[in-house]
Copies of this chain bind each other. A is one copy, B any other.
Amino acid sequence: MNSLLSRYLDIRRHTTGLAAPLSPEDCTAQSMPDASPAKWHLAHTTWFFETFVLEAHETGFAPFHPAFRVLFNSYYHGVGARHPRPQRGLLTRPALAEVLAYRADVDARMVRLLPTLMHDAAPCALVELGLQHEQQHQELLLTDIKHLLSCNPMHPAYHPAQPAAAEREAAQPLVWHAFAGGLCEMGHAGAGFAFDNERPRHRVYLQPYALASRLVTNAEFAAFVDDGGYRNPAHWLAEGWDWRAAQALEQPLYWQRVASAWHEFSLAGLRPLQAEQPVVHLSYFEADAYARWAQARLPTEAEWEHAAAPLFSGTAGGEARSDMLHPRAARGVGLEQLAGEVWQWTQSSYAPYPGFRVAEGAVGEYNGKFMVNQYVLRGGSCATPPGHARASYRNFFPATARWQFAGVRLAKDLG
């Protein structure tokens, strides 16, 4: 339990630290309905503990502020009414300072409560879920603030020192790693934490396949753009082409030409595009179109997990990085960049595993109800908190989502 308490304090503190470079104004604005204000992330993660842990277990529970139950409920019908998602950016009150006070208050109460729960598995599991949930919002806070800052024509940086303008990294050849497939298992089985959507572990049958040793690079993706990749419907899924055409998309979300050279908006501001770094902020449609153009395809999530599982423990959990918050080039020709750089689109629709059951009560709304019209991403990104991801971890977004740290690892059929 001590470790749960110290994990609680570490993770909670990390969230506040992520907001530290931001002004109250930065924390309040919402750039699109899909993104939330940083202040909302700070409050909603706190609401999760207040609503699902304190309300159930704290003696003499009284809410910090009665209105917060509605204001900071994301999508839990079981908890009651919700402030409309597209209007989160209109909540200039409570002020950032008051939200930080809300965090401090809930933290103090959690610190008092946690030791009393140490022999009770159910609330401890909820606390752990709350911490995993908060880590997910840590990444969202960064993707959302990146999108917000990108809407400002002055290209402001979240953190100017990060990442340093990298020297040109060495190109690594793309090598194909072959896998025989056959009857395999996928999904989480161990004792450690996993989300419900990673369970149950179950058998799948895989045909022989190969995965690329590394992620698709900016240089490779620029070749697709230069080849007219955004103007040729032959590369695109029909719905993707219509979407691209309606929005007149011609390049990845954060790319723009300055003079004639490609630049990329990053959390350190606008910078020249680095050829060997992984291309990032692609939608599923763009990732898929690139793969077709490259005469390859996206992997399935089963293929990805089968290949990554033996290696993942080594690469995950990443030490503190000096160039954090932007993906780095590959360093070799093994199965590189499985975690810590960009989420990797799979061709797998987000669906329940055989035997999947949702939890009882409002937390049952956590994952299951989103299993339609979304696609699974695997691996974890430079914005994912160290230690958060697993080989069996399933991230998911609609095929049009571009503002996440998402890229491509190619796959192909064998034999």
* Chain A residues close to B by CB (< 8 Å): 23-29, 31, 39, 67, 70-71, 75, 77-78, 83, 87, 89-93, 95-96, 148-149, 151-154, 156, 183, 202-207, 233-234, 236-241, 284-285, 288, 347-349, 351-352, 354-355, 365, 369-373, 399, 413
Contact = CB atoms under 8 A, between A and B. Distances in A.
Contacts of A75: 238
Nearest to A413: B355
A92 B351 CA distance: 38
A236 to B, nearest CB: 7
A95 to B, nearest CB: 5
A237 B369 contact: yes
Contact of A25 (B92, B153, B284, B288): B92
B347 A351 contact: yes
A92 B152 contact: yes
Q: Is the interface of A mostly helix, strand, loop or mixed?
A: mixed
B25 A152 contact: no
Contact of A372 (B29, B205, B237, B372): B237
16 contacts: A23-B93, A25-B25, A25-B27, A25-B95, A29-B90, A29-B92, A31-B90, A67-B154, A71-B154, A77-B233, A77-B234, A93-B154, A204-B205, A207-B355, A237-B371, A238-B369
- Please indicate which of the listed interface residues A91, A95, A206, A241 has the most CB atoms of chain B within 10 Å of its own CB: A91
Contacts of A152: 90-93
B153 A67 contact: yes
Contacts of A96: 25
Contact of A90 (B151, B183, B240): B151
